[in-house]
Structure 1
Amino acid sequence: MKKILIFIGAATVMLAASCTKDFDKINTNPGSASGENFDPNLLLPTAEINYVSTIQGYSGAILFQSMWVQIFANAEYPTYYSNGDKYVASGNILTYAASIWNNAYQAASKAKEIQNLIAEKGTAQTNLSSVAFIVQLLNLELITDVYGDCPYSQALQAKTANIAFPVYDKQSDIYPSMLNSLDSAISTLDASGDKITNDIIYDGDITKWKKFGYSLMLRMAMRLTKVDAATAQKYAEKAYAGGTFSSVDDNAFINFDNANGYNNANTSALQVPEDFSQVRWSKPLMDFLKAGNDPRVSVIAEIPENGTTNNNDKTLDGDHTFAKQIGMPSGYDQNGGATDISKEPNYPGASPADASINGDAAFAVGLYSRPTAALYTRSLSTPGFILTYAETELLLAEAAVRGWNVGNASTHYHNGVSAALQSYGTFNSVGEISATEAETYATAHPLVTSSTEASLAQINMQFWATTGTLFNFIEAWNNWRRSGYPVLTPVNYAGNFSGGQIPRRETYPSTEPSTNGENYNAGVSSNGGDTWTNRVWWDKE
């Protein structure tokens, strides 16, 4: 063995002596990602789809925010939905709480790597670099909105600046920086510039990316209404002047491709038998939509066929009759005690067993409305929404109510309501509400202008209902925290982790104290604590 090692060593010396001039060429992996041999366009779809996957499913949104903001309800205990419906921890709560942090930073790093590769290549791919930067900011906004103070100025710099332990920046510093950076990125977009390939949101359409950038700027600006109204107004007006979304054709979403291994995480979750049979629309949501005779009710909601077997069958369509739809209140279980769903004052009764099915049984929550299976849960290729025309118009309506120079509040509100109704057809034909019907409804339900508060309440209730029923639960929760609408009654189920209050943030990943302890401790101190109820900077009473 010793002779063999000596021989190998000698051969290595000779090889090194004879090939020194080709050392870099020989020792470079031809498959590695570098600016010389890798097209950075190829990373863009990964960064884009990672963002959408992060705001869906078991990354937290469907288990936390969908029920914290009372879009969904779930009358079970114990279950992982207890995290959202009852604020009671499940066994994997720390994993769920860390998911957005981990996944969004990973998505942001993919976007950052696109910029790094372009820099290495030294080519003029300004459009691609700017779009990648916008996607990076989209992810960083998500992180700071969910957790508060976080790594920002030193984030994503392990490769380029060897920063392994980034400081936690204050959210009050992060937001102005993001807005300024976004403004700069948008200004470099040029429809006559480099072509973007592999873009799964807008197929490289730079005009649409500019609209997206300004619409994202508007959303960021409106976060600051309670803490920095001057900056909020400045950037809301800049976004409006620059050109936000102008129709539902501008909606930002990703069409998933389950055949090739990419599926909608919300749909995937709701195809789990326990999830499909037990997750229901909430009472506040159904009450709100039905009070306005909203045509979405018969599109998004259905009552399953009778009995347990039929409730669990994802292939069966339910009853969409408007009058029959009823939302389920939060905070109940099916355990026979004081919080059993059957004790709820307006309990509609159990869905009776189907006599034609041998051994079938009644189903306790079967008469509450569930999300329409054919619309939301039957296909794993269901689109995932990022930002919509309806949202931007509703935000502009609020900005106008505040007296800012962004157009007419009533017109924006009308556009927002109409656009919301027209957006469900993006899922599939089951959700189609015609432009004519949407316009008729919006005209018949104009903005109430009797007072500023009445207008703000109406606008933000619509925002909540729209984002929630388009399954963008994070945005429904974010805007609820910012605006205070709808006014929700918290659940105070025994053993909850929030003192009977609706959670206002997610806690930092449990690994942070050991992996970035000094900066984590500083961040916790600056953030006012690391609990489910301490508020992020822009979330003021």
Structure 2
Amino acid sequence: MKRRIYFLYIIWVQVVAISLSSCDDELTDINRNPNATENPQPAYLLAAAQYHAANLYWGSSTNYNSTLLWVQHWAKIQYTEPDCYNVDNGSFTTTWDTGYATLITDLNAIISSELGNDNYRGIATVWRSWVYLLLTNLYGNIPYSEYAQSVTPAYDSQEIVLRGLLEELIAADQLLSTTGGTVEGDLIYGNDITRWKQLAHSLRLRIALELADRDEDTARRVIASLWDNRNSVIDSNDAIARFVFTSSPQWNPWASAFNSRDDQRVSKTLIDKLNEWNDPRIGILAQLPQDEGVKNYVGAANSLSADAANNQGFNKVSRPGTYFLKDSSPAVFYTYAEVLFIFAESAARGWITADAETLYREAITASLNQFGIIDNRIIDSYLQQEAIRFDAAHWYESIGWQKWIAYYGQGPDAFTDWRRLGYPQLIPGPDSVLGSGELPRRFFYPVTEQSLNGKQYQIAISHQGADEITTRLWFDVANKER
């Protein structure tokens, strides 16, 4: 099976390199490549879309040089500009271009291909929904309903995108079935249709929670329905959505980065909290400093100037855990722990009839298990600490801190949940370029949108607010009521 998957890698890399050279339908006659594959096989496009998504989600512009720093999971020890929020409208072009020109384009090709079947179309719709959700949570208003119909598509509001994705995921679930046809090229779930149906509904959980501060009735209705059908969502760590890398040249992006550079360390904010709580995950999430004179885990401070960051000592602060720096370490997209945290929050809000504390403890346990902590004595000892016990009156703090830890590595989604919930309460470092205690809340649109789709870009920012990283998105309500 592994040899077959590796063979698929080689084939689809070649196919995608050819297929992506073609332009939009309106320009096809002018720019047609006579050597291009006119009808690429859905299996190759699916494998490509998953591989490129893994590299995007765990890569530089989307994760370890942006959101992973901004939620203070990591910090920069040199070249600290992104950690000080010194970014511009060229910083996030890769995220936008890969999301649209590579991922959504390939997934649209699967959905419209006559060579596929309903299961291919269902999987592609689920994965396209994941991509659109990633993009809207990073940028806000985005091209959505018109993307495939125009070279200058209008931007839809984030509200329209989120509501549209809720409906698309229902449609995807209806396409997916054991009689919907054979699927190949699925490197996330190994062609398991049931798992894709679970991911579809789990994404609906995530989206519904994002609506909570804007449309509580819809959030409650969607989540209560899925609580009543709990087997329809990710229901164990075996069902986690993740992409497992193989070896060179398909390395995990973090392994590739640390193979050539040594710029990142684990954030002091995270290490201090793990130390304070005697968290057994600390040895998985971080390494002891290489300086033999330092006997404890030590985090690097965020938002420092290059000189100040360097002065902490390259070998006196903790690098990310070796588990995450292996060539074959997985890119994780959605976990069982997240599902349980969503249900715990829903119970705390009174949306479902369940015990919030029990679900909170189950969520922490799922996260510990995910990171290899399976000894029940260690787990029970951790959960019994006063600082870890669920505080029903301040559920947002209890859940906020623990979900933040559980999201380690998943920078974009940790960034979304921190903005949505407002916890943990993060403090920028002394050399932030934003000032006044502000933190980033979105990505800049790429400069190419201003030049190539300027009219629609201007309409988008007139609706959403200035194209600044401090502008709040629709779901990110100020002065949240908790």
TM-score interval (norm. to shorter): 0.7 to 0.9
Cα distance in 2, alignment partners of residues 50 and 194 from structure 1: 25
Shift in Å, 1:180: 1.3
Q: Decide which of 46, 49, 52 is 2:48's aligned counterpart.
A: 46
Q: Is the 8 A contact 1:215 1:244 kept in 2?
A: yes
Partner of 2:92, secondary structure, is: helix
Can you list the C-alpha shifts for 1:133-152, whole angstroms capped at 9, x where unaligned? Answer: 01111101111100000100
Per the TM alignment, residue 31 of structure 1 is displaced from its structure 2 partner at its CA by 6.5
Partner residue, 1:358 = none
Question: Which amino acid is 1:127 matched to?
Answer: N
Rg larger for = 1
What letter corresponds to residue 196 of structure 1 in structure 2? V
- Given residue 527 of structure 1, which amino acid in structure 2 is its aligned partner? Q
Per the TM alignment, residue 164 of structure 1 is displaced from its structure 2 partner at its CA by 1.2
- Deviation string 1:256-284 (CA, Å, 9 cap, x unpaired) is 1224x222112212223332xxx222122
d(CA) in 2 for partners of 1:30 and 1:94? 35
Could you tell me which of 347, 366, 375 is aligned with 2:315?
A: 366
1:64 paired to 2:66 = yes
User: In the alignment, which residue of structure 1 is the partner of 2:4?
Assistant: none
Measured in 2, the distance between the counterparts of 1:39 and 1:87 equals 42
Whole-angstrom CA distance in 2 between matches of 1:456 and 1:101: 32
Name the residue aligned to 2:300. Answer: 328
Given residue 206 of structure 2, which amino acid in structure 1 is its aligned partner?
A: R
Which position in structure 1 is the counterpart of 2:275? 290
**1:268 and 2:260 equivalent?**
no
Are the structure 2 counterparts of residues 334 and 450 from structure 1 closer, same or farther at C-alpha, using a change threshold of 3 Å?
A: closer
Counterpart position of 1:526? 463
1:342-361 Cα shifts (integer Å, max 9, x gaps): 6xxxxxxx7xxxxxxxxxxx
- Match of 2:18? none
AA paired with 1:491?
Answer: G
Match of 1:195 in 2: 182
- Map of 1:355-434 to 2, 5 A cutoff? 364-372=313-321, 374-377=322-325, 379-405=326-352, 407-424=354-371, 432-434=372-374
CA distance 1:193–1:532, change in 2 (3 Å):
same
Superposition pairs of residues 86-165 of structure 1, within 5 angstroms: 86-89=84-87, 93-105=88-100, 106-118=102-114, 121=115, 125-155=117-147, 157=148, 161=149, 163-165=150-152
Check 1:418–1:102 CA distance in 2 against 1; reply closer, same or farther (3 A cut). same
Matched, 1:451 2:392: yes
Could you list the runs of 5+ residues in structure 2 that have no partner in the other structure?
Answer: 1-31
For residues 173-224 of structure 1, what are the alpha-carbon distances to aligned partners after superposition, in whole Å with 9 as ceiling and x for unaligned? 1111111111221133212331211100111111111111111111111111
Residue-pair matches, total: 443
CA 1:273–1:215: 2 relative to 1, 3 Å: same
Return the letter of the residue paired with 2:133.
E
> What is the Cα deviation at residue 434 of structure 1?
2.1
Is contact 1:498–1:532 with CA below 8 Å preserved after alignment? no
Shift of 1:392: 1.1
Look up the SS of the partner of 1:386 in the other structure: strand
Structure 2 letter corresponding to 1:226: D
CA shift, 1:491, in A, is 2.8
Q: CA RMSD in A?
A: 2.5
Structure 1, unaligned stretches of length 5 or more? 1-26, 308-317, 343-349, 351-363, 425-431
What's the CA shift for 1:292?
2.0
1:105-127 deviation per Cα after TM superposition (whole angstroms, max 9, x unaligned): 12121111101113xx4x7x111
Give the corresponding residue for 1:353. Answer: none
Q: CA deviation at 1:448?
A: 4.2
| Structure 1 residue 406: Cα displacement | 6.0
Of residues 467, 475, 484, the one that matches 2:413 is 475
- In the TM superposition, residue 444 of structure 1 has moved relative to its aligned partner by 2.7
- The answer on 1:237 being equivalent to 2:224 is yes
**Structure 1 stretches of at least 4 aligned residues deviating more than 4 Å after TM superposition:** 27-31, 339-342, 445-450, 497-500
Q: Measure, in 1, the Cα distance between the counterparts of 2:155 and 2:138.
A: 14
Task: In structure 1, give the amino acid aligned to 2:51.
Answer: I
The verdict on how the C-alpha distance between 1:401 and 1:330 changes in structure 2, with shifts beyond 3 A counting, is same
Deviation at 1:326, TM superposition (A): 2.3
Give the C-alpha shift of residue 492 in structure 1. 4.4
2:22 alignment partner in structure 1: none
Structure-2 residue corresponding to 1:356? none
- The Cα shift of 1:167 comes to 0.3
Shift of 1:238: 2.7
Residues in 2 aligned to 1:477 and 1:31: alpha-carbon distance in whole angstroms: 39
Pairwise CA distance, 1:28: 12
Distance 1:46 1:521 in 2: 33
Deviation at 1:302, TM superposition (A): 2.2
CA shift for structure 1 position 30: 9.2
> Which residue identity is paired with 1:391?
E
Contact 2:154/2:456, CA 8 A, preserved across alignment:
yes
What SS is found at the alignment partner of 2:301? coil
Out of 479, 485, 488, the position equivalent to 2:423 is: 485
Is 1:87–1:498's contact at 8 Å kept on the other side of the alignment? no
Q: What is the one-letter code of the residue matched to 1:251?
A: I
Whole-angstrom CA distance in 2 between matches of 1:28 and 1:271 = 37
Letter in 1 for 2:81: S
Given that 1:74 and 1:280 are in contact with CA atoms closer than 8 Å, whether structure 2 keeps it comes out as yes
Map 1:29-40 onto structure 2 (within 5 A).
32-34=37-39, 38-40=40-42
Give the Cα separation in 2 of the matches to 1:150 and 1:273: 33
